[in-house]
Structure 1
Amino acid sequence: MTVPLLIDGTAIPERLGGVGRYLEGLVSGLDELGASFALVLRREHVDHFRALAPSAKITVAPDWIRSRPLRFVWEQVGLPWLRLRARAHVLHSPHYTFPLLAHRNVVTLHDATFFSDPQAHGMLKRTFFRAWIRAGLVARRVCIVPSAATADALHEHVDAVRSEVVVAHHGVDHTVFHEPTDAEVDRAAAHFGLDRDRGWITFLGTIEPRKNVGPLVEAFRRLRRSRPDGPDLVVAGQRGWDTAAAAALDAVGPADGVHEAGYVPLESLPGLLGGATVVAYPSSAEGFGLPVLEAMSTGACVLTTDRTALPEVGGDAVAYTEPDASSIAAALLALVDDPERRAGLGRAAVDRAATFSWAATARHHLDAFRSAS
């Protein structure tokens, strides 16, 4: 086969959070625009991506790449061979790393936190991704980033940038992330053991240091001391490497009004987010902040910070706080006590979220692919 574009999807995890959500959105956007492309995927993702892009040519990667070291070897050796066999004009590597010897290669760099917030990552991970980000930026490849803030930060931290850097904001699937019906909110409340009359505050994301889940839990405890009949807290997301947040979560439970939900499937998110009193995302650093956009699309009142890329996403349609427990508690209390402001922010959030789409993201990617070809 001969294709204009080959996308390497082998780095995404089994559960499609983070980079997986980005890749499925990009693929659906490219398909919507009628672009011709091929995908190489792990076996467990084939059916899902075939449904998203029926016209895409799909190759199944060998099962042994489930091992991270072996996947890296395959990326450097097997992927270039596959690209030659497919006679692809451009290769897209959507998660930092790429074949060093490949030409006409586009790579996505998701954020600059390995430089700007090094304490949020372990030493090995930080060293590895810093090296690959530098390699992408100095090797005259085309690099895609999800925000102007990320582009600016990368230029600040990496000397001698020779690559073209293209900003392509993420999109949102409005068929999934929509204003929920009463039935959807009722189902979410029943599933997570919540009381609609009391309400709830939702956090959505991986529990890692820069998300500030520990300070959020402490802020919630202060809120409940001030408002004993106030909303519960739902922490939706898988635990990462934040030991302080893990300790904070281990110290509370449903009796304290805290519900740790773990991974939440897409179909449950509109009710959980759009039905929330507040969606709190007090991250101190983001390459984009997709959970904020997804919550906005459901009509949620969102509380986040004004750090890095988050204002590019939220604009005037969200409330802002500093990421410490005292500030989060004060901001939550102000929103809980002001239903009129919450409703206004929810309406503004829907309007702003409507300006983001995966088709628009895909158009910027197509420009980058043409630039590399």
Structure 2
Amino acid sequence: MKLLVNINSLIPPLSGVGRYTLELLKRLLEAPEIDDIWGAGAQGILDRVQLGNLLVRLDSTALDDPSLYPSILGNPLWRRWARHIPGVRTAKLALENIKLGKILPLRQYIYWEPNYLLMPYPTKAVVTVHDLSHIDCPEYHPQSRVAELKRHLSGSLHRARHVLVVSEFTKKRVVEHFDIREAKISVIPPGVGPEFRPYDPAVVAEVRARYGLGRDYILSVGTLEPRKNIPNLLRAYTALPTELRNRYELLIVGANGWKSTEAEAMLSALEGQGVRRLGFINQKDLPVLYAGAVLAAYVPFYEGFGMPVAEALATGLAVMTSKRTPMADTAGDAAYLVDPDNVDSIRAGLAELLTRPELRAGLAARARARTSRLQWHTAAARLIECLENIDAAQY
């Protein structure tokens, strides 16, 4: 089987979609079922060797290193424009598509689009949809992205031979909103890498020292964007009794997103008052930061899956998250659930977990077993099965 993949989601800093793409591509490159694989996008056109080199470097180098990209994307200004100005990336891709058609016999390749919108490649296509937040809560996104998805997503879904989603929740919403047959949709949840596990105290201590973490801390991981609900988490934390805030720091980890003015203003005002923002960190340090935390707090308004919940559980950490699907489904009985709209509910959850170590221990004991089925090699095997069968009559 020959495969073509859109690699635009691999522009750092990697979002959840970017991490999903990266981890599955690493397994696809090793899969005996894949005879050839190319990546195409704003980074350029990469053959199997170049694609493999890119993935290795994404995993092991500074993610703002311009040498990661052999094309114009090595210019940080272009990368900023490509993310925020409608049409800039499309124009670049149009040029790359002309080149691609001259390099590959496209009709011999299956095209996997890991990020919603199919490119106009003249070949069989499979598309991954992570959520429908642009429909369910458009106020959480830039208007240009909402408009682009509303204009093109329906066409992508109906053109695709098969549709992949990350949760039963997203599958249900796609069926309801786009009138897609359930037989045309497969659920392939993300995996959790083996690096998300408990760590030796000496390893944890070294990472904590490197980031200057002297106190015990609550960890919250996620891109700074409205649906992650950082302002309500900050309000809940600052409403805790002084003795708890003096003992437990709130650590915010994640890249800058969009519509984050309120969250950024609150973070700046609270810096030095028990709240610290690390921003986007080296991804090799993230599992260790989970392992060193007292608990993970992730209370988004809306998600397609909720990777930080799974990552924290796999590390054996007590988790507080939203009582909404799919976070509650992912966590099951291994997390403390709160109402993301209610600051007092979040505050009460923090207080109870911080003052009841036996409750944290009980959640942590159930945590790792809950995510044992979420493996990247399992997700990759299911993806390969879908790719192999897109010509079947039921699709």
Q: Normalized against structure 1, the TM-score is what?
A: 0.88
Aligned amino acid, residue 365 of structure 2 = R
**Maintained 8 Å contact 1:207/1:245:** yes
Match of 1:299 in 2: 316
The one of 230, 255, 270 equivalent to 1:252 is: 270
**Distance change (3 Å), C-alpha of 1:359 and 1:162:** closer
- Worse overlay, 320-329 or 25-34: 25-34
The one of 16, 19, 22 equivalent to 1:21 is: 19
Say if 2:105 is the partner of 1:84: yes
**Maintained 8 Å contact 1:145/1:166:** yes
Distance across 2 between alignment mates of 1:50 and 1:333: 41
Say if 2:135 is the partner of 1:119: no
SS of 1:266's partner is coil
**Maintained 8 Å contact 2:245/2:274:** no
Match of 1:326 in 2: 344
Percent of pairs with identical residues: 30
Shift of 1:9: 1.5
Match of 1:352 in 2: 370
Shift of 1:173: 0.9
**Maintained 8 Å contact 1:146/1:170:** yes
Shift of 1:74: 4.3
**Maintained 8 Å contact 1:205/1:237:** yes
**Maintained 8 Å contact 2:223/2:257:** yes
SS of 1:315's partner is helix
- Worse overlay, 333-342 or 27-36: 27-36
The one of 33, 51, 56 equivalent to 1:35 is: 33
**Maintained 8 Å contact 1:138/1:162:** no
**Maintained 8 Å contact 2:237/2:245:** no
The one of 73, 93, 96 equivalent to 2:94 is: 73
Say if 2:264 is the partner of 1:243: no
Distance across 2 between alignment mates of 1:39 and 1:101: 13
SS of 1:229's partner is helix
SS of 2:190's partner is coil
Match of 1:57 in 2: none
1:23-71 CA distances to partner (integer Å, 9 max, x unpaired)? 1211233345433141315379752425899xxxxxx997247652334
Distance across 2 between alignment mates of 1:344 and 1:159: 42
SS of 1:91's partner is strand
Distance across 1 between alignment mates of 2:379 and 2:278: 30
Q: Normalized against structure 2, the TM-score is what?
A: 0.83
The number of residue pairs the alignment matches comes to: 360
Match of 2:55 in 1: 49
Q: Where does the alignment leave 5 or more consecutive residues of structure 1 unmatched? A: 54-59
**Distance change (3 Å), C-alpha of 1:366 and 1:312:** farther
Shift of 1:274: 1.4
Say if 2:277 is the partner of 1:263: no
Aligned amino acid, residue 119 of structure 2 = P
**Distance change (3 Å), C-alpha of 1:283 and 1:228:** closer
Distance across 2 between alignment mates of 1:99 and 1:271: 38
**Maintained 8 Å contact 2:124/2:160:** no
Aligned amino acid, residue 17 of structure 2 = V
Match of 1:63 in 2: 71
Shift of 1:75: 6.5
Distance across 2 between alignment mates of 1:249 and 1:7: 38
Q: Which has the higher contact order (CA 8 A, sep 6+)?
A: 1
The one of 188, 192, 196 equivalent to 1:177 is: 196
Distance across 2 between alignment mates of 1:316 and 1:78: 51
Aligned amino acid, residue 162 of structure 2 = V
Aligned amino acid, residue 289 of structure 1 = G
SS of 1:202's partner is strand
RMSD of equivalent CA atoms: 2.7
The one of 93, 96, 103 equivalent to 2:123 is: 103
Distance across 2 between alignment mates of 1:165 and 1:83: 28
